[in-house]
Amino acid sequence: MSEPEVIVRKEGRAGRLTLNRPQALNALTHGICLQTTQALRDWADDPEVSVILLDGAGERAFCSGGDIAQVTAAGKRGDYAAGRDFWRDEYRMNCLMAAYAKPVVSFMHGFVMGGGVGYGCHTRNRIVGESTQMAMPECGIGMIPDVGGTWLLGQAPGELGVYLALTAARMGPGDAIHAGFADRFVPEAAWDSAKAALIETGDVGTLPRHADPASPMAVEQSRINRLFAPSTVTEIIDNLRSDPSAIAQAALKAIGRNSPLSMASTLALLRPSPRSLEEALKQEYRWTWRAMEKSDFIEGVRAQIIDKDRTPHWKHAAPADVTIAEVAALLATLGRDELSFG
């Protein structure tokens, strides 16, 4: 009998969801999203459940993102429904987690990227530890920061959200707290006892308090604000080229690997920033609904994940080649296909 992709159970006062694909770095599948949604609905009115615990099996990752191999394989055949269905149900799950009446506590170790951010960072009790490495790397695979990522990025201080979106820079625990993607640091050696207290009492007040680790990004905040203030990717690149600092040169190299269309679309989603998580998810869904047909997504996944040749052939040679009209078309209303929450 195969292992479940997500372990769903009740323990004491807690409803527990443990992502259970450690060999795949706990990448999210459509099935995981549906099972998570069903469990949350079941527990909403269950008097035995006072708190929800989210965590991931294995040592390497809470969740490395969405498992998009099947989605892209279907898209290459001209079948876009699989991806659209997956993203629709994933985004609805993200919204449900954020609005959930009972406290949800996410313990996020190791890699927390893309869909993993959506799974663990829309709750109000987000725990990080020494091993946490968090990022939104979507522009590197011809995608946009989705799963409500544009909402989180838009709430980050100054221009930090734009920096994180365009460079896929990894946040350690201190950076994640500074950026607003996490709430508190707890040493990972104390996680078992913290979970045990939650299971016994159902009370998030039992979560321990520790000093936040240093945030290198907070130290660089003023430089990030200046470098990433321009309204176009081309102008940001000009700023980076004129700044010899290590952070600017690393950012320049990262941006040079990304899809120009994805970066232009991401800036459009962040300026102005979404006014709510629901607005962010609706806008992101317009883009992802069209992603396999109109964007660099399939090519980016091929180059970075499937063939791993790291040489994607983007639709545009440079950010300056992307037009406002192209971005607007990707973000236009979907009419009857608009994302709804219910």
- For the chain, the farthest-separated pair of C-alpha atoms sits apart, in whole angstroms, at 60
pLDDT band per the 50, 70, 90 thresholds, residue 250:
very high
Catalytic residue at 278?
no
Task: Give me the number of domains the chain comprises.
Answer: 1
CA-based torsion, 115, 121, 125, 126: positive or negative:
positive
CATH number for the domain harbouring residue 117: 3.90.226.10
pLDDT band per the 50, 70, 90 thresholds, residue 73:
confident
Question: Residue 108's domain spans which residues?
Answer: 6-337
Tens digits of residue pLDDT in 173-198: 999 999 999 999 999 999 999 999 99
pLDDT at 292: 94
pLDDT band per the 50, 70, 90 thresholds, residue 242:
very high
Catalytic residue among 115, 116, 154, 300: 115
- The closest of 6, 17, 215 to 128, measured between CA atoms, is 215
Mean pLDDT, the chain, whole residue set: 97
What mean pLDDT do residues 259-265 have? 98
User: Is this model's pTM higher than 0.95 or not?
Assistant: yes
Catalytic residue at 284?
no
Catalytic residue among 146, 159, 183, 296: 146
What mean pLDDT do residues 133-139 have? 98
Catalytic residue at 66?
yes
pLDDT band per the 50, 70, 90 thresholds, residue 296:
very high
pLDDT at 115: 97
Determine the Cα–Cα distance for residues 95 and 92; give it in Å rounded to an integer: 5
CA distance to 31, 159, 200, 320, 325, per residue, from 228 (Å): 38, 6, 46, 16, 23
What mean pLDDT do residues 45-58 have? 98
Residue 160 within any structural domain of the chain: yes
pLDDT at 68: 87
CA geometry: angle at 320 spanning 314 and 322, to 5°? 55
Reading the block at residue 13, the tokens are 């006062």
Residue 107 within any structural domain of the chain: yes
Residues 6+ apart with CB under 8 A from 320: 234
Tens digits of residue pLDDT in 161-170: 999 999 999 9
- The closest of 169, 254, 270, 149 to 216, measured between CA atoms, is 169
Tens digits of residue pLDDT in 190-229: 999 999 999 999 999 999 999 999 999 999 999 999 999 9
H-assigned helices in the chain:
30-44, 69-76, 81-99, 115-120, 149-155, 160-167, 173-179, 191-201, 216-219, 221-227, 233-241, 246-257, 260-270, 277-294, 297-301, 324-330
Reading the block at residue 64, the tokens are 């490395």
Sheet holding 14-19, edge to edge: 6-11, 14-19, 51-56, 104-108, 125-128, 184-185
At residue 165, the 3 state secondary structure works out as: helix
What mean pLDDT do residues 293-311 have? 94
pLDDT at 1: 65
Catalytic residue among 138, 188, 278, 284: 138
Would the pLDDT of 342 be above 80? no
Tell me the one-letter amino acid at 233.
V
Catalytic residue among 66, 116, 148, 154: 66
- The closest of 103, 119, 98 to 202, measured between CA atoms, is 103
Residue 83 within any structural domain of the chain: yes
Residue 1 within any structural domain of the chain: no
Reading the block at residue 165, the tokens are 């979106």
Residue 121 within any structural domain of the chain: yes
Catalytic residue at 138?
yes
